[in-house]
Amino acid sequence: MSGSTAIHVEHLSKMYRLGVINNGTLWQDIQTYFAIKFKKDDPHSKIGENKYNGDKDHFWALKDISFEIKQGDRVGIIGKNGAGKSTILKMLSRISSPTEGSIKIKGKVASLLEVGTGFHGELTGRENIYLNGAILGMKKKRIDEKLDSIIDFSGIEHHIDTPVKRYSSGMYVRLAFAVAAHLDSDILIADEVLAVGDAEFQKKALGKMQDLSTSEGRTVLFVSHNMGAVKSLCNVGIVLDKGRLTYNCEINDCIEKYINKSIRFINDVTTMSFNIDESKPFQIKRLEILNDRNEHTYLFERTNEIIIRLFCVSRIPIPDMYGYISIKNNNDIPIITCDSREDGYNIFNVMKKNSYTIDLCIPSCILAVGEYISDICFGSGNYKDFYIEEHRNILKFKIKDSFSIRGNTRNSLTSLILDWKIYNED
């Protein structure tokens, strides 16, 4: 490791065994126990065997990952659920060990991985501050010096002498983050737990992590599905997909590549058909995107109306049905949301058995220049599932402005200006 390198990971892999963790017989379990006790190779372990490539009882949570993080970097770790984000953070925090590969870390690590991790429920908030500090190797005198700032940052001073078992999840996170951010560590690791906190605390926590990196030179590793938060905090990105590292570059490039990979529509595709499932009470059969001249396109001027046309079938009468669409920017942040129930008259209220064409019309001049993605869903209060038809990240389109020098930077978040239209096909 070079002097400026905080973390060096080389050919890191982690395998997990599915199902019940034993060898199948008591005798084999005893052999495994004594092999571990006397520090010998487990005769029943398949891990490390060249012939092993995976089977139904095992899977690779991480496979052959290598990267290097410089001191003072703010690294956003991005990926879908199950991509391996939490697994790699646990290994960097030395909670679990790798199956293969090596991890070299320079400095102390403070981790915030799960709500309540490292806290003892019977101890008060104040006592848990001292407990966490001791775990990190800090002297009591040093913790005393930072105690007031930790309590003040957490915002739960009125509850600091209450056992933490009585805390809400939000209070847990407030105190845990305050401790991790103020104690003497060189590397701060924060998983998705910040999502539990309220908006004010999230903003406060992100600002604190940025200050730790820029003013104190600490290295920050941050996992979140909120691309806006990742972009505002981080300068470097790591993208994981099914346990493998797919991108490791500047954060804006990472976010763009990650989002583009999750979009089904390629730029010049303007029509998409879906597999027919007769078991669904309601289904979108085909989707099209058109301009106000009824031309299929993915590229619109700001002055164009955008029409998202859905060809659907209702196989049974569906009461209390509604439609929902979300238009998101490249950071996965909703810019426009529309729920058909919000205008006081829901045209889908009683959906009869029939085929329908549904147009969702987005008026001109409400979207800024850029790229957008959409989620389209339909639901009903009479069904246990939240949505009876749901498609995420299925449509990508672009807005350009050829008629002004600087374009228009207006971003709108509204639902009442959109216009739903429906036509019977009888």
What tens digit of pLDDT does each residue of 56-78 get?
A: 667 888 889 999 999 889 999 99
293 with 419, same domain: the answer is yes
Q: What is the pLDDT of residues 246-281, one digit of tens each?
A: 989 898 888 877 876 665 444 556 888 888 888 888
Average pLDDT of the residues of the chain: 80
Amino acid 344: pLDDT: 61
Domain of 84 in residue numbering reads as 71-261
Domain count, the chain: 2
For 387-392, the CB contacts below 8 A with 24+ separation are 387/324, 388/280, 388/281, 388/282, 388/318, 388/321, 389/280, 389/282, 389/283, 389/284, 391/274, 391/284, 391/287
Looking at 237, 261, 285, the residue that finishes a domain is: 261
347 with 221, same domain: the answer is no
Q: Return the CATH number at 180.
A: 3.40.50.300
90 within a domain of the structure (yes/no) = yes
21 within a domain of the structure (yes/no) = no
357 within a domain of the structure (yes/no) = yes
313 with 217, same domain: the answer is no
Looking at 239, 261, 283, the residue that finishes a domain is: 261
Q: What is the pLDDT of residues 143-174, one digit of tens each?
A: 888 899 889 988 888 899 999 888 887 888 88
The pLDDT-based confidence of 417 (bands split at 50, 70, 90) is: low
Q: Return the CATH number at 345.
A: 2.70.50.60
169 with 288, same domain: the answer is no
277 with 257, same domain: the answer is no
179 with 328, same domain: the answer is no
80 within a domain of the structure (yes/no) = yes
Amino acid 383: pLDDT: 65
Amino acid 260: pLDDT: 66
288 with 209, same domain: the answer is no
342 within a domain of the structure (yes/no) = yes
